[in-house]
Amino acid sequence: MDLNGIDPSNRFLIPQRDRRWPHVLSLLLMVSALVVLALGLVGWPRLRSTSIHYELIGLRAQVAELEQRQRSLMLELELERSPENLSARARALGMVPAAPAGFPAQADSEVSP
């Protein structure tokens, strides 16, 4: 039986298959978007906590460095306040020791400017 160029086809099935692809594609895109959103919601706080942790490590190192500097400055201050240093600097400035309390100063000891 020759039907003069009419080939058997499934032309009634093709439109049904073509109508399903947009639904499948939109479902796939929606699921992909949900997966990306879920990863973002889980990953972003984790990333932020990691960066805060690194900032904390840096700040702790800075605090340790500043505490060491404070200790060295306190040591230097105590060295400058020592009686030996104070008396040496006073002599270099021309100062004389004070008279003991209750005794009048000698008449010949005058302080000159």
Residue 9 pLDDT: 61
Domain ranges of the chain: 14-91
pLDDT confidence band for 8 (50 / 70 / 90): low
pTM: 0.48
Give percent of the chain above pLDDT 70: 73
> What's the rounded Cα separation, in Å, for the pair 45 and 34?
17
Q: Over range 21-33, report the average pLDDT.
A: 90
Q: Is 101 exposed, middle or buried (0-12, 13-18, 19+ CB in 10 A)?
A: exposed
Q: Which tens digits make up the pLDDT trace of 64-84? A: 999 999 999 999 999 999 999
